[in-house]
Structure 1
Amino acid sequence: MSPDAASPRPDDEHGARSLWQSLRGFVVAQLPLLLLVLAALAAAYVVLQPTPPKRLTLATGGAQGAYAEFGRRYADALRAHGIEVVLRETGGAADNLALLRDAASGVDAAFVQGGSSGKRPVDEPADDGVASLGSVFHEPVWLFYREDSAKRLLGGAALTNPAQLAGWRLNVGAPGSGVPPLMHRLFDAYRVDVDALRLSQLPLTPAVVELLDGRLDALVVASAPEAPMVQMLLLTPGIALFDFAQAEALSRRFPFMTPVVLPRGVVDLAADRPPADVRLVAPAASLLARDTLHPALVQLLVQTARQVHGDAGWFQHAGEFPKPEATEWPLATEAQRVYRGGTPWLQRYLPFWAANLIDRMWLVVVSVIAIALPLSRVLPPLVEFRIRSRVFRWYAQLRAVEDAVGSRPAAELLHRLDDIDRRVEHIAVPLSYADELYALRSHIQMVRRRLQSHDRGTANTGDAS
């Protein structure tokens, strides 16, 4: 193979250079619009935060309570969406509410018992940085007592009124739970002399041990029936459950309470436990969150609540929970959207992160496109003017040379013309504008010929004279 065949040909180099110039011209024409679109999308991404955090801290309660059991179910459900749930064990509803109100606690969401806020229905919602994601389950007030204590302290009569608890060893829940303030409301309603009670505030597990060993006569727990300790006490011989015969009246006095019935035999049909319907009062437990929680996590928590609490139970029909009512806190905006519209249809076909990204960004993308389309018609003419100005600006200097013919020395004008010609040779324009560049170079040659013709005519006239 000859060296000439191996080396690139001049026309190939020229073609490559022309192609590069064309591509560069296209990029230059579209670059401002592209940068504008990217800047708008980046700003929208920062403002909307379409990608939620991958970690969520959920405050529950005692290890053997219903809050802890539901917390584990939430953690399992959210793990499938790539969200790690950190369960924080607490004393109960009061502690959970205090943690939510403290922005430095690190708690993002929590279960809180109805009535824990201390507000009345007519009160304005407190601006405490807490929002509701809905009420999620009934949390009945279970008053368990030893049957032998009733025989001993009541002379064989059954416990039918909280006022009969005078002199009883009664545990009303650990400090930080929602039970102590709730029971004090009930004591006030029944005109119970608290000083006549032998109250203790043990956590649930130690209190159950004390009750079974006979060192307590009764204990109160407010919990969903899924709590392991509640299930165990309902099946324990010698432990009776107090029947709130005035449950309906209590619900009228305390609107955060709902009268519910534990049906006969629902605990154990074969053993017929309980042997009769038991009337209870049940505050509605709410799922609360910081009002700064990422909207995507709010949406996902409400969807998870439907999955965890949506089935039929001892005190609820299928689909009854979660619901936006029966809560003392304002409902989060994103939660309202889920209750109105249900699960976004994109999540049926895409992973959560992708569906959320599209759901939160599609309106921005459409808006950017709507703005970019008119600009795409405005920017190219501006870029075209910029490219053509590389050629046209030399016509002013070429005209100046032509106008100076006859008034300035020809040698000086020819030198100036050569300088213009050299500069024009290095102008880079896309192929679509090459005709204008070649027209400029032909006009330079035309002025050169006129200048040379005028110079020869001037020289002939001088010789003749």
Structure 2
Amino acid sequence: MKYKFLSISIPIILLVIASFYITAQFIQPSPKKEFTSATGSKDGQYYKTALLYKKILEDEKVKVNIVTSSGSMQNLQLLQDKKVDIAFVQNGIELNEKQKHLKAIGSIYYEPIWVFYKNKKYTIDYIVELTSKKISVGVEGSGTNHLALQILKDNGISKENSTLYSYDSSKSKKLLMNDKIDAMFVVGSANSKVIKELLEDSSINVFSFKRSKAYSRKYNYLESLSLYEGTIDLYRNIPYEDSNLLATTANLVINDSLSDELQRLLLRKLFTIHNKKGLFEKNDQFPNISNLTIPVSEEAQRYYTYGDTWLEKIFPYWIASNLDRLKILLIPLLTLLFPLFKGVLPLYRWSIRSKIYKWYDKIQGIDKIIDELNLVELKQNLEELEKLRKEIKNETKVPLSYMGEYYDLIMHLELLISQLNIKIASK
């Protein structure tokens, strides 16, 4: 019986071990809990947002490294060269052939396009009126530069008929205030120090896009926004009149080497950081994947569609992630589940009955030779059976459903003891 048990159980155990080993080869190792993010300059909104991510993700034991840059175009190059894993990129920028492997994971907030010009007692109603003027279009490689040149081009303004400078926002502000240039473009949040100072300066006007809706029809990544009188400061009435603005969005773009786990963790945090109402944003408007000019990653698409998995809702993120990675081990388990269930019940029955049957060899051996024993041998076997009866009653415990076999054993034992007593009495 012991041999039969081993012949059944050992192959099953070996099969389970082999199945787990083979499937384990297909499980990816745990991702590195670290990534590098490219922002913009240290005084920009991208950098401030990256610092916020760093603080929140460090609570999840994820290390975040921050790299500054000149802006969106350089950030895409850093991603292409695999020097960073994540980058802030202004929506509307197209990828080149070498960057097709880069993917977006979402828009996170509006980035208005501000055009400031010197207040010379007249209002500029159309961009074309900046022809022949001195205009700062932002640092080369920045999203501001890319978008400003596009808007100017649409209005027939170029280096041939105007003077264009590639200055950063701080230098452009100083030059505009000192009347060294006529206008400047800047893309950024209304909370930016540079933009606030320009809005507060009575010698500077903010351009109102009368045809903002036309631009938003022409470019699906642009949206018409309204900046109402007094929105920035009600007491000082800044701005002093309503303005129409154009806005793009700030996007997060990733290298394809960034693990799915880190993508999902970052997306989960984005929904807690950027879903609140802002100056231009509505509640739960961001993050989103609407009107992106860069393709969305498959993992991000799944997250926006289905949200957290049931494991992520129950367990802390990294526990849920590891459990999800181990789901492939269910393949051998499910494969072996049916035959195991079929084999477990007979093995259980055998283990219970073996407690009873192990005594039958001894009883049967005595029963076969009882007629051949002399008086001394009969007494010895009787004494041995008495000990056996005591041992069985004290050590053999079985479930109630198997008490029939147990009492059969006791009955046969008592019968053999009785026969021995009769034999002894007759000697």
Q: TM-score, normalised on structure 1?
A: 0.68
| Partner in structure 1 of residue 400 of structure 2 | none
Any conservation in 2 of the 1:54–1:82 contact (CA below 8 Å)?
yes
In the TM superposition, what whole-angstrom CA distance separates every residue of 1:346-398 from its partner, at most 9, and x where no partner exists?
43443211011223333x23323101324547999xxxxxxxxxxxxxxxxxx
Amino acid at match of 2:35: L
5 Å-filtered alignment, 1:240-279, equals: 240-279=205-244
In the TM superposition, what whole-angstrom CA distance separates every residue of 1:194-215 from its partner, at most 9, and x where no partner exists?
3232221122233333334443
| Partner in structure 1 of residue 300 of structure 2 | 335
With CA pairs under 8 Å and 6+ residues apart, which has the higher RCO, 1 or 2? 1
| Partner in structure 2 of residue 389 of structure 1 | none
Q: Identity of paired residues, percent?
A: 26
5 Å-filtered alignment, 1:230-249, equals: 230-249=195-214
| Partner in structure 2 of residue 181 of structure 1 | 146
5 Å-filtered alignment, 1:272-291, equals: 272-291=237-256
The structural deviation recorded for 1:25 is 8.8
Sort the Cα spacing of 1:433 and 1:209 in 2 relative to 1 into closer, same or farther, 3 A: farther
Structure 2 residue 140 is matched with structure 1 residue 163: no
| Partner in structure 1 of residue 25 of structure 2 | 43
The structural deviation recorded for 1:246 is 0.8
Structure-1 separation of matches of 2:180 and 2:287: 39
| Partner in structure 1 of residue 107 of structure 2 | 135
Any conservation in 1 of the 2:225–2:245 contact (CA below 8 Å)?
yes
Any conservation in 2 of the 1:137–1:224 contact (CA below 8 Å)?
no
SS at match of 2:303: helix
Any conservation in 2 of the 1:170–1:200 contact (CA below 8 Å)?
yes
SS at match of 2:107: strand
| Partner in structure 1 of residue 90 of structure 2 | 113
Structure-1 separation of matches of 2:357 and 2:41: 78
SS at match of 2:116: strand
Any conservation in 1 of the 2:37–2:87 contact (CA below 8 Å)?
yes
In the TM superposition, what whole-angstrom CA distance separates every residue of 1:93-143 from its partner, at most 9, and x where no partner exists?
1111222223xx321111111221179xxxxx9971111112222211111
Any conservation in 1 of the 2:229–2:237 contact (CA below 8 Å)?
yes
Amino acid at match of 1:145: Y
The structural deviation recorded for 1:236 is 3.4
Sort the Cα spacing of 1:58 and 1:238 in 2 relative to 1 into closer, same or farther, 3 A: same
| Partner in structure 1 of residue 43 of structure 2 | 64
| Partner in structure 2 of residue 33 of structure 1 | 15
Sort the Cα spacing of 1:170 and 1:327 in 2 relative to 1 into closer, same or farther, 3 A: same
| Partner in structure 2 of residue 100 of structure 1 | 79
Total equivalences in the alignment:
356
The 10-residue stretch of structure 1 (283-292 or 78-87) with the greater mean CA deviation from structure 2: 283-292
| Partner in structure 1 of residue 70 of structure 2 | 91
Structure-1 separation of matches of 2:34 and 2:289: 25
The structural deviation recorded for 1:293 is 1.7
| Partner in structure 2 of residue 324 of structure 1 | 289
Amino acid at match of 1:372: L
Structure-2 separation of matches of 1:286 and 1:238: 33
Structure 2 residue 201 is matched with structure 1 residue 228: no
Any conservation in 2 of the 1:64–1:229 contact (CA below 8 Å)?
no
SS at match of 1:68: helix
Q: Which runs of 5+ in 2 are unaligned?
A: 345-353, 363-427
Amino acid at match of 1:85: V
The 10-residue stretch of structure 1 (58-67 or 156-165) with the greater mean CA deviation from structure 2: 156-165
Any conservation in 2 of the 1:169–1:216 contact (CA below 8 Å)?
yes
Structure-2 separation of matches of 1:193 and 1:240: 22
Structure-2 separation of matches of 1:28 and 1:431: 21
The structural deviation recorded for 1:146 is 2.7
- What RMSD, in angstroms, separates the aligned Cα atoms of the two structures? 3.5
Structure-1 separation of matches of 2:310 and 2:54: 23
The structural deviation recorded for 1:164 is 2.1
Sort the Cα spacing of 1:242 and 1:376 in 2 relative to 1 into closer, same or farther, 3 A: same
Any conservation in 2 of the 1:174–1:201 contact (CA below 8 Å)?
yes
Sort the Cα spacing of 1:193 and 1:110 in 2 relative to 1 into closer, same or farther, 3 A: closer
Structure 2 residue 194 is matched with structure 1 residue 194: no
5 Å-filtered alignment, 1:69-88, equals: 69-88=48-67
Structure-2 separation of matches of 1:248 and 1:185: 16
SS at match of 1:87: strand
Amino acid at match of 1:88: V
Any conservation in 1 of the 2:108–2:251 contact (CA below 8 Å)?
yes
Any conservation in 2 of the 1:262–1:279 contact (CA below 8 Å)?
yes
